[in-house]
Amino acid sequence: MKRQKGLTLIELLISIVVLTVILALGIPSFMQFIKNNRLTAQANNLVVSVQLARSEAVKRGSGAIICAANADLDGCSADTDWATGWIVFADLDQDGDLTEAEECTTEADFDVKDCILRKDGPLSRNTLTAGSDNLHFLPNGLASNGPLTFTLKADDCNYQQQRSITITTQGYPITAKQNCS
């Protein structure tokens, strides 16, 4: 008779137990990894928007503003909760207000109206707060209301799942990991 090869019932049960233990230990770590990556991506999106506002203020020789957006992402809210998103706009008349709530489609638009340059929608599973509802850059690249610190935190924050993003008066962003508060 020819002997059949394969797993016995005991070998199969031991394999299932080992796999279950590995998954039980690995999945929580993987979830923390995903949460940290989400925080980092959202912090990077904010930093890119701040850098865009600063560079556009210098490039155009007029002010530029990044502000907490309203629910429709077509204007600024007067709230220090930035979790609804933010917009960057060129402030041609330097009045600190988005006079024309529209995106510019031609280069000529930038010469005659305030233009929305970038929109970032609501955050997913995180909160973002700041000490002000906007950050205003002057034509020389300085932040007129800086330094301004943003706090980005995971909804169910634990260990170092909080980021502090400080925009200096010179307009440079400084990002740091922090323990949850």
Give the range of the structural domain holding residue 60, as residue numbers without chain letter.
11-178
Which 8-state DSSP code applies to residue 137?
E
Residue 158, number of CB atoms within 10 A of its CB: 11
**For 100-104, what is the mean pLDDT?**
61
pLDDT at residue 50 greater than cutoff 80: yes
Number of domains in the chain: 1
pLDDT at residue 64 greater than cutoff 80: yes
- For residue 4, being part of any structural domain is answered with no
**Which range, of 17-21, 89-93, 111-115, 132-136, averages the lowest pLDDT?**
111-115
Structure tokens given for 1: 């008779």
- Report pTM: 0.80
Encode 62-83 in three state secondary structure.
CEEEEEEECCCCCCECCCCECC
Structure tokens given for 101: 């709530």
- For residue 48, being part of any structural domain is answered with yes
pLDDT at residue 110 greater than cutoff 70: no
pLDDT at 157: 76
- For residue 127, being part of any structural domain is answered with yes
Distance CA 154, CA 38 (A): 9
Distance CA 22, CA 45 (A): 35
Integer-rounded Cα radius of gyration of the chain: 24
The pLDDT confidence band at residue 101, using thresholds 50, 70 and 90, is: low
Q: Are 104 and 110 in contact (CB under 8 A)?
A: yes
Q: Which CATH number goes with the domain that contains 174?
A: 3.55.40.10
Structure tokens given for 96: 């600190």
pLDDT at 9: 86
- For residue 3, being part of any structural domain is answered with no
**For 28-43, what is the mean pLDDT?**
85
- For residue 77, being part of any structural domain is answered with yes
Beta bridge partners of residue 87, listed in sequence order? 67, 119
DSSP codes of every residue in 90-125: EETT-SSS-SS-SB--SGGGGGTS-EEEEEE-PPSS
pLDDT at residue 47 greater than cutoff 90: yes
In one letter, which amino acid is 18? V
CA-nearest of 94, 95, 75 to 86 is 75
pLDDT at residue 85 greater than cutoff 70: yes
CA-nearest of 52, 88, 46 to 69 is 88
Mean pLDDT of the chain: 85
- For residue 17, being part of any structural domain is answered with yes
pLDDT at 1: 60
pLDDT at residue 165 greater than cutoff 70: yes
* Bigger pLDDT: 181 vs 137: 137
- For residue 137, being part of any structural domain is answered with yes
**For 78-101, what is the mean pLDDT?**
81
- For residue 43, being part of any structural domain is answered with yes
**For 41-45, what is the mean pLDDT?**
92
